[in-house]
Structure 1
Amino acid sequence: MSSSFRRLKCISMLDSLPKTSSHIQQIHAQLIINGLKSPPLLAKLIEHYCGSSHQHIANHAHLMFQYADKHDLFLFNTLLRCCQPKDSILFFQSAFSEGDMVFDDYTYIFILGACARFPSTSTLLLGTQLHARIVKHGVMSNIMVPTTGIHFYASNKDIKSARRVFNEMSERSSVTWNAIITGYSSQRAGHKQYAFSALLLFRDMLMDESGVMPTDTTMVCVLSAASQLGMLEIGASLHGFAEKTMCVPEDDVYIGTGLVDMYSKCGCLESALLVFKRMNQKNVLTWTAMITGLSIHGKGEQALAFLYEMGANGMKPNAATFTSLFSACCHAGLVQEGIDLFCDMNKKLGVMPNMQHYGCIVDLLGRAGRLKEAYDFIMGMPVRPDAVLWRSLLGACKIHGDTAMGEKVGNLLLQLQEQSFDDLAPRSEDYVALSNLYASAEWWIKVETVRKEMKVRGFLNKAGCSSVQTANLNAL
C-alpha cells in the first residue's frame, strides 16, 4: 500500500470520526508506525485533539506539532487557531522567544483573535506589541489583520485604539464594520455614549461609498445599542430597515431576538410579545429576552408561565434565564415562588446556581423584609459569599429599619473587604452605607466613629453625579 493511499485513508477516517472518538489516538499511532508526516493530515489530527473536552487529550495537539520534521508554519497556525486562547498565547510567546520562525498574516490573525478571547492586562500589552510588529513588517494588506486588531482592542476595553485602527483602514468589509460597531455597543463603562457612537457608525456604514451592506450581525448590534439608549423611534426604524432590505426579521432568530430585547427595554412590551409570537424559530436567548422583558415590566407571573411554556416547547433554560426569572419574582413580590424556583433549578431543571442567583434570592428576601432568612441563607451557602450579597442585605436592613442586623452585616462586610485586595472605592462605599444606616437610626456617636475610621484609613467618599441624554434623534 503506497504512502499516498495510506495518507488519504487516514484523512478520510479522521473526517468521519467524532471529535471525542478514542480511534483518533489509534490513527495517531498508525501515523508514527508508517512515518506519515503530511501537514494536512497532521493539521486534521491537531483539530480533532484540540476539540476534545479533556485537557490531557487536547495536550496531544502539541505532540503532533513536535512530531513534524520541522516547525511547519501551517501546523503552527493550525495550533494557534484551534487551541484554547490561553494556550495559544503561551505557545506563541514560546515560539517568538526562540526566534526560529517567520510568521505570516494568518499567524497574527489567530494570535490577535486569541488575545481578544482572553482579555487581560497582559494580553492587551502583548496585542499592542503585535500591532506595532504588524505595522513594521507591513502585514496590514490582508484586511482581516486590522479587522481582528479592532476586535482585539475592543474586547480589551481599549475602544480608542480600536477606532484608530478602523480610521486608518483604506478598505473595509462588512466584518470590519461589524467589529467596530460591536466594539462600541459592548462597552460597559459609559455605555450610553458608546451605544450612540455605534448608531452613528451604522449611519456612516450606510453612507459609505464602498457599498458595504449591513448583515444580521450588524442589525443585532445596533438593536442592542438602541435598547441601551431606550430609543424606541430608532429601534422601530431599524426594524423597518431590516424588513425592507434584508429579510423578514421574524425568520431570523438573532434579529428577532434583538427586536424582542429592544422593544422590551424601550418600554413597548406589546410589540416585543408580537415579534416573539411571530418568530418561526426561537432559541434559549429568545425565550430569555422575552422573560427579561416581562420581568422589567413587573409581569412576574407571566414570566414564570413562560418558563413552563418554554419547557413544553422542548427548550431548556440556562443560567441567564433563571437570573431574569428571579428578577421577575423580585419586581412582582413573588417571594415563595422565587424560593421554590431556586430549589427546583438544579434538582428538576439541571442548572447549577451561581453567585448571581444567590444574590437574587438575598435581594428577594431582603425586599420582603425577611432579613433573618436572608442572613441564614447567606450563611448556609455552599460557596463563600461575596461582598455584593452582604451589600444587598445591608441595604435591605436600612430600608426596613433593622439597625441591629444592619450593624452585624456591615461589620461582616468591612471584615471581608479587609481581607481582599480590591481597590479602595468599594470599601469607601461600604463605610458610607454603614454610616447612613446609623444615621437613619439617629445613632450619631457611631456615625462619627465610622467617619473618623474612614478618615484614618484615607478613604474618600465618592462625589455623586448625574447625566442628561442630549443626543438628537435627527443626528442619525
Structure 2
Amino acid sequence: MSIAVPVRAPRWVSRRRIFEQHLADLHKCKNLVHIKQVFAQILKSDLHSDLQVAAKLVSAFSLCHQMGLAIKVFDLIEEPNTHLYNTLIGAHVRNSQASQAFATFLRMQSSGLPADNFTYPFLLKACSGKSCLPLVQTIHSQVEKFGFRADIFVPNSLIDTYYRCGPLGVFGARKLFSMMVVRDTVSWNTMISGLVKVGELNEARRLFDEMPVKDAISWNTILDGHVKAGDMNAAFELFEKMPERNVVSWSTMVSGYCKVGELDMARMMFDNMPVKSVVPWTIMISGYAQKGLAKEAIMLYDQMEEAGLIIDHGTVISILAACAESGLLGLGMKVHTSVQRTGLTCNTLVLNALIDMYAKCGSLDKALSIFGGMPEKDVVSWNIMIQGLAVHRHAEKALELYDRMKQEKFEPDGVTFIGVLCACTHAGFIDQGLDHFLEMGRDFGIVPQIEHYGCVVDLLGRGGRLKEAFGLIQSMPVEPNAVIWGTLLGACRVHNDSEMAAEVLDRLVKLEKSDSGNFSTLSNISSAAGDWDGAASARFQMRSSGIKKPPGASSIDVDDEIHEFTAFDTSHTESDGIYQVVATLRMDLEEVR
C-alpha cells in the first residue's frame, strides 16, 4: 500500500519577489527611517538600476521632503524612461520646486524622450497665479500639437490651471471647455468650481443646471458658491433639492449661516446633522467665538471633547483665530489646555496661533513665554510677537526682538516691517522709523506696499510733521486710499491744522462720500482752532448730504460673555439697571464737583 506524502512548497523565493513585496507601497510611505533602510537593502542587492524601484523611491523620498535623496536615486539610473522623469517632475512640484520641475522636463526633452499624457498635468500643477498664464498657454499649445487633448485627463487639468491663473485665465478655460467633444463629470465640475472661484456665480449656476449628470461634488460646489456670495436663501433652496447630502453639504450650510450672522439657523443645521465630523464642530464653535458668545462657544467645545472627537491643528488654529478676533481669552485658554494634552505643542502653526491669540487678548507675558519655548520658530512667529508688542505699546521690546530676529538669521518680510513701523509710531521714534522704512528696500529688497506708506504717514502725522506726510502721500507710487487720507486727517485734528484738514477732506470725500466721520472731524478741528464758520460749514455739508454719524460702540467681557453698548442703547436685557447706575454715578460726580 502506498502512502501519499504531502508535497512541501519550496521555501526559496527570489530576492526580486521579496523586494517587490516590500516595495509595493513604498511610494506612499512617509517614514524616512524605513525608506532609508529599504534603500540600503536595494543598493546591497544591486536593484537600484531597476526603473520601477527607482520611481517608487523617488516618490517616497519626495513625500518626506528629501529631494536631495530623490535626485540621488534618479541619478543612479543611466537611462531614465518617461515614467521616471514624470515621477521626478511630480516630486519637484509636490515640494513647491516649480523651476526644478521645468528644468527636469527640459532635460527629458534634450535626452530625446517624448512627453506623455502624464507629463503635462504634472507641469500644470506647478503653475499658479496670473504670471503663469503665458506658460500655461505654451503648455496648452504643446498639448494640442501632440494630440493629448484626446485624453480627457489632460484638458481637465488645463481648465483647472487656467482658473488658477485668476480672471485672465477664464477665457482660456471657457474656450477649451467649448472645444471639448467629450466631457466627463470632472470636466463640468472643474468649470463650475473655477467660475465660482473667480466670482462668476451666475454662469456657474447656468452650467450646473445644464450638466447632464451631477455628483455630490457638483452639488457641493455650487452650494458653496451661493454661500460665498452670501445668498443663503438660494443656498437653502438648493440644499433642499439635493438628492444626497454629506458632511460637506451640511458643514457648508452651517458655515454660511455663521458668516451672515444667523447663528440660530447655523445651530439648527448643526443640531440636525445626521453625522458630524470635527469640521462642523469647529465651524460652529468659531462662529460663536467670532460673535463674542463665549458661553455658547465654551459649552459646545466641552461637548465636542465629551463626544471623543480628536482635534487637529486645523481645528485649533480656526478656533484660536476666532478667539483672537473677539478677545475671548477664556476659550483660548481652554483650547491651549487641549493642545498641551493632545501633543500639538510641537506644531509651529499651532504655537503661532496661540501666541497671536494671547497677544491680541492682552496676555503678552503668556505670548512671550510660548514664543520663548518654541522648538522651531519661523518668520511668522517673529512677526506675530513683534506686532503684539508694538500694538500694546511695548515699542522698545518690539524693536529689540526685531534686532534679535536678524541676529538669528531670520530674514524680515513685509509683515515684519509693519510691526516695526507700528512700534516706532507708538513710541514716537520718527527718525528711527524712517530709517527702517528705507531699510526695507535697501537691505532686503522689499517693495513698500500701501500698508507701509500708511504706517509712515501715521508716524509723521503723530509727530506733527504734517507737510512731510502730505508730500509722502503725493509721491506714493500707488493711489492713496481712504485709510491713508483718513490717517492724515486724524493727525490734522491732533495738531489743530484746519487749513490742511480742509484740503485732506476734499480728497477724502471723493473716496468716501458717505462717511460722516470725516465732516465731523473737520468740524471739530475748525472749532478747536476758533474757526466757527468752518465748523458750521462742515456740519452743514454733513446735514445737506443726508449723512448721519453712526453712534459709537463699546464692549466689555464679563464672565466670558461680550456685552456691546451704543449711545442711548436700550436693547440690552439689563438696560434699565445699567442706566440707573449711570444716573447714580452722574449724581455722585456732581456732588464731588
Same fold (TM over 0.5): yes
1:387 alignment counterpart? 482
From 298, 305, 314, give the equivalent of 1:206: 305
What's the offset of the Cα at 1:145? 6.0
Deviates further, 378-387 or 106-115:
106-115
350-359 vs 367-376, which moves further: 367-376
Pick from 294, 297, 308: which aligns with 2:403? 308
Give the match for residue 188 of structure 1: none
Distance 1:366 1:348 in 2: 26
Pair 1:68 & 2:148 matched: yes
Q: Kindly tell me: are residues 205 and 91 of structure 1, through their superposed partners in 2, closer, same or farther at Cα, counting changes over 3 Å?
A: farther
For structure 1, which segment, 331-340 or 464-473, has the greater mean C-alpha deviation from structure 2 after superposition? 464-473
- For normalisation by structure 2, the TM-score amounts to 0.63
Q: What CA distance in whole angstroms lies between the structure 2 residues aligned with 1:104 and 1:366? A: 58
> Which one-letter code corresponds to 1:206 in the other structure?
E
Higher relative contact order (CA 8 A, sep 6+): 1
Structure-1 residue corresponding to 2:328: 231
Instruction: State how 1:272-287 maps to structure 2 within 5 Å.
Output: 272-287=367-382
- Give 1:194 deviation, angstroms: 7.5
CA distance in 2 between partners of 1:140 and 1:360 (Å): 48
Change (3 A) 1:167 1:83: farther
Residue segments in structure 2 that go unaligned for 5+ positions in a row: 1-79, 206-221, 227-233, 563-593
SS in 1 for 2:444: coil
- Residue 269 of structure 1 aligns with an amino acid whose one-letter code is L
Q: Distance in 2 between matches of 1:77 and 1:131?
A: 31
Deviation at 1:54, TM superposition (A): 3.5
- The 2-side partners of 1:123 and 1:168 are apart by 32
Structure 1 CA distance for aligned equivalents of residues 261 and 165 of structure 2: 21
Residue of 450, 456, 460 corresponding to 2:538: 450
Q: Does the Cα contact within 8 Å between 2:395 and 2:423 map onto a contact in 1?
A: yes
Aligned partner (choices 1, 4, 11) of residue 86 of structure 2: 11
CA distance in 2, matches of 1:366, 1:359: 10
For 1:124 and 1:448, the matched residues in 2 are separated by 52
Please tell me whether the aligned partners of residues 19 and 51 of structure 1 are also in contact (alpha carbons under 8 angstroms).
no
Task: Note if contact 2:130-2:166 (Cα within 8 Å) is conserved in structure 1.
Answer: no
Distance 2:298 2:182 in 1: 42
CA distance in 1 between counterparts of 2:477 and 2:506 reads 22
Counterpart for residue 105 of structure 2: 24
Give the Cα separation in 2 of the matches to 1:150 and 1:91.
34
**Which residue of structure 2 lines up, in the alignment, with residue 84 of structure 1?**
164
The answer for the alignment partner of 2:124 in structure 1 is 46
- Residue 101 of structure 1 deviates from its aligned partner by 6.3
Relative to structure 2, which stretch is displaced further, 226-235 or 92-101? 92-101
Which range moves more in the overlay, 51-60 or 260-269?
Answer: 51-60
**Secondary structure of residue in 1 paired with 2:166:** helix
In 2, Cα distance between the equivalents of 1:77 and 1:50?
12
Distance (whole Å) between structure 1 residues aligned to residue 110 and residue 250 of structure 2: 40
Is the alpha carbon distance of 1:474 and 1:467 closer, same or farther for their aligned partners in structure 2, counting shifts above 3 Å?
Answer: closer
Gaps of 5+ in 1: 186-190
Q: Matches of 1:131 and 1:85 in 2, distance apart?
A: 31
**Identical counterparts, % of pairs:** 26
Q: Secondary structure at the match of 1:365?
A: helix
**Would the alpha carbon gap of residues 233 and 212 (structure 1) be closer, same or farther in structure 2, given more than 3 Å must change?**
closer
Alpha-carbon contact 1:51-1:82 (below 8 Å) kept? no
Q: Cα distance, 1:454 vs. partner?
A: 3.4
Q: 1:247 aligns with which of 330, 333, 343?
A: 343
Q: Do 1:19 and 1:52's aligned partners in 2 also have CA atoms closer than 8 Å?
A: no
Q: What is the total number of aligned residue pairs between the two structures? A: 447
Q: 1:55 aligned to 2:133?
A: yes
Matched position secondary structure for 2:372 = helix
AA paired with 2:334?
S
Task: Kindly name which structure, 1 or 2, has the bigger radius of gyration based on alpha carbons.
Answer: 2
Question: Which residue does 2:274 correspond to in 1?
Answer: 170
CA contact (8 A) 2:128 2:165 kept: no
Following superposition of structure 1 onto structure 2, how do residues 48-447 of structure 1 map, counting pairs within 5 Å? 48-49=126-127, 54-63=132-141, 67-70=147-150, 72=152, 75-76=155-156, 79-80=159-160, 83-84=163-164, 86=166, 104=185, 108=189, 112=193, 115=196, 127-128=225-226, 136=241, 138=243, 140-141=245-246, 143-144=247-248, 153=256, 158=260, 160=262, 163=266, 169-178=273-282, 191-193=290-292, 202-208=301-307, 211-244=308-341, 246-247=342-343, 249=345, 251-414=346-509, 417=510, 420=511, 424-426=513-515, 428-447=516-535
Describe the shift of the 1:317–1:192 C-alpha distance in structure 2 as closer, same or farther (beyond 3 A). farther
Residue pair 2:386, 2:401 contacting (<8 A) in 1 also? yes
The 3 A distance-change label for structure 1 pair 307 and 403 is same
Tell me, yes or no, if the aligned pair for 1:192 and 1:229 is still in contact at 8 Å: yes
Could you tell me which residue of structure 2 aligns to residue 464 of structure 1? Answer: 551
CA contact (8 A) 1:365 1:371 kept: yes
1:310 Cα deviation after fit: 0.7
Q: Secondary structure at the match of 2:508?
A: helix
Does the 8 Å CA contact 1:154/1:184 hold for their aligned counterparts? no
* 1: CA distance, partners of 2:368 / 2:421: 20
| Farther off after superposition, 118-127 or 6-15 | 118-127
After TM superposition, the score normalised by the length of structure 1 is 0.77
